[in-house]
Structure 1
Amino acid sequence: MQISRPDLTNPTVRPAPAAGRRLPEGLILAIPAGLALNLGIGVMVLGQGTGALVAGVVYLAGAALVCVAMRRHYPHARLGSCNAVTLMRMALTTALIAPLVGGVAAGWAVAAIATISLTLDGVDGWLARRSGLCSDFGGRFDMEVDAALALILALHALAGSPVGPEILALGVMRYLFIGAGLVWPWIMAPLPVSYARKAVCVLQLATLIALQVPVLSDDLAITLARIAAAALIWSFGRDVLWLRGHR
């Protein structure tokens, strides 16, 4: 899982993309499949109509960005099951926008869908390594889906849990990091692999999912949110200090 920042990995499995590369085989079929999953979740599971349409539009916008990025940065000729799984995770994640539009915030259904998306997070990486389709694009795609899931869950938690606006820290840190990188480009340099960073990412999403269900006491929910936020701020702060020292 890589919500926060890209890690340095073995460059030998990442051939350079060719300019003007065609879209990989399978993408044209995978996008409609993801849209069907997105709309089906929004209507049949989350019980939303208009909200499901909005979620579908967001999914299609994300799929369009994926197509553009793949033409520029994806080095393989076929999509592979790894990227198909990440695309399905994007469909699940964007489907969670539907209840926000419909005025329905946290709940068991949201927690269940988010849990499925989080569980699949380790599957796409395993499939990429198994099929020899590892790429910088795949790692970044996976990371951005995780970041979007965190933001959407934070918005649900803000509307439906006792935690105050500070819960947004668990959803916006990735985007604040990108914004800082626009001002200080050295922030966007690659980082070494860190299992502590990965553990904090797991804590971040697990906490956000736990906050969706109405079984936690107010005090426990607030305590968990603050612990996760403190860990995330520590993780980002540590990486910024490392990047500053190695710029």
Structure 2
Amino acid sequence: MVVLALVLAALVVVIGLPGLSVMWAVLVYAGMVVLLLRHWPDQSQSLGVANRITLGRALVVAVLAGASAGFPALAPHTGVLALMALVALVLDGVDGWAARRWRCVSEFGARFDMELDAFLILVLCALLWVLDRAGVWVFAIGAMRYLFVLAMRPWPWLAAPLPPSQRRKAVCVWQVGSLLVCLLPGVRGGFALFLLWAALALLVWSFALDVRWLHRQRAVSAVGSFP
């Protein structure tokens, strides 16, 4: 929280971050910390290097979430927001490297990383919408992961674990990269729409492949369990 306070104070001075944005960023970050501690599998152990880096990335995402409540005051400072999104994207690679380097790869860490990626994408969609860089349809990009999770209720077979996938990681990087570029000053119009529609198309394609794989696994399991 001390680091968050310092970052927010710096942004208040440098870009005039509104009080509503500060309050929203603190609430979002506090909520993420509470969820992290609630689901941490072993309270007797420390988070480890990789999860601490991911938590640092969560701080950046929380500030971006707070910024979405600060428009139109922050409209002239989209370059700063894009830079922060770039920091979050870089840290996304650093935490994975740290997990392998210090041998602290875990199912919890992978899930924490994935859910933070999904929330970052949703936050960037919100920023583009409040900036009027894209219509409300842009939330289809950010909502895809959450719609997939909701679909697990009527179709429990969707909750089966998926194998690691470089394709899935590449599509995620494309989502964040495209949304980030569209935040840059001067990026709008046809080029921005192309990037965003391409991001949505790739995301739909990637989810379709995963759903097909899960459905096939369900069919295989059903055949294997037939007496």
Cα deviation, 1:119-145, whole Å, max 9, x if unaligned, reads: 010111111122121111101111111
- CA RMSD, 1 decimal: 1.9
The equivalent residue for 1:35 is 4
Measure, in 1, the Cα distance between the counterparts of 2:170 and 2:5: 33
Q: Is the 8 A contact 1:39 1:53 kept in 2?
A: no
The equivalent residue for 2:180 is 209
CA apart distance, 1:69 = 0.7
Correspondent of 1:141 among 105, 108, 112: 112
**Aligned AA for 1:223?**
F
Change over 3 Å in CA distance of 1:90–1:45 after alignment to 2: farther
Indicate yes or no: 2:66 matched with 1:98: yes
- Sequence identity, in percent? 40
The equivalent residue for 1:220 is 191
The equivalent residue for 2:26 is 56
Correspondent of 2:155 among 160, 170, 184: 184
Q: Is the 8 A contact 1:38 1:56 kept in 2?
A: no
Q: Is the 8 A contact 2:50 2:99 kept in 1?
A: yes
SS of aligned partner of 1:133: coil
Larger relative contact order (C-alpha < 8 A, sep ≥ 6)? 1
Measure, in 1, the Cα distance between the counterparts of 2:180 and 2:140: 15
The equivalent residue for 1:129 is 100
Cα deviation, 1:176-206, whole Å, max 9, x if unaligned, reads: 1111112211111111222222111111110
Measure, in 2, the Cα distance between the counterparts of 1:139 and 1:41: 31
The alignment of Structure 1 onto Structure 2 pairs a total of residues equal to: 214
Kindly name which structure, 1 or 2, has the bigger radius of gyration based on alpha carbons: 2
**Aligned AA for 2:64?**
L
SS of aligned partner of 2:68: helix
The equivalent residue for 1:243 is 214
Indicate yes or no: 2:113 matched with 1:113: no
Change over 3 Å in CA distance of 1:182–1:37 after alignment to 2: farther
Measure, in 1, the Cα distance between the counterparts of 2:6 and 2:143: 26
Greater helix share, structure number? 2
Q: Is the 8 A contact 2:182 2:188 kept in 1?
A: no
The equivalent residue for 2:225 is none
Structure 2 segments unaligned to the other structure (5+ residues): 219-227
Measure, in 2, the Cα distance between the counterparts of 1:75 and 1:136: 15
Cα deviation, 1:36-76, whole Å, max 9, x if unaligned, reads: 35534653455222211121011101101100111xx2488
CA apart distance, 1:161 = 4.2
